[in-house]
Structure 1
Amino acid sequence: MLTAAQVLAENNFGDTRTGGLAGPMGLFLILVLGTATVLLIRNMNARLRRLPDRFPAQGLPAEAGRADAGVTDPTDGTGAVDSSSDSPNARQQHRNG
């Protein structure tokens, strides 16, 4: 008969020495990830060095580049914005608030 201590002390995981590939595989993955990180950092630094020190100012007039030049912005500070519309967001805010 097995006692409780013998049942708890029994190794149910098999022999841990056979097929010991976890250590070398872990080292390989760490080396691959480290190499990839170093190469990515070098590539990013090379791209940043190629950027100009200052970008030229945008030479477009204020309204020439806008496709929606005729649409006025309700949040431009000229008047209050009415938030009591019947949009789903307003209903959700009233229901949740």
Structure 2
Amino acid sequence: MMLVLLAQNPGTPTGPEFGKASPLGLLVILVLLVGTALLVRSMNKHLKGLPETFEPEHPEPDQQADEGTDPGVIPNGTEGSDPPKPAST
């Protein structure tokens, strides 16, 4: 008996109120728009506070090959030399 009820097609809803939006939907959309505007405003404030570049002003010798350099590039004057040895502590 339960399978017969579940297998039945409920039919398409009809009537004068079918498909109309409620005022609650408009309220939800307005709240989402206000929240998005506040998030964009906050993000812009944070982005204005960032430095123009993240490169160090005075890089240390051990920072010669960092994330900003091309992998596998050897600086001029060091071709054929051994890689630097780690400093012992």
- What's the TM-score, normalizing by structure 2? 0.43
Higher-RCO chain (CA-CA 8 Å, sequence separation at least 6): 1
Normalising by structure 1, report the TM-score.
0.40
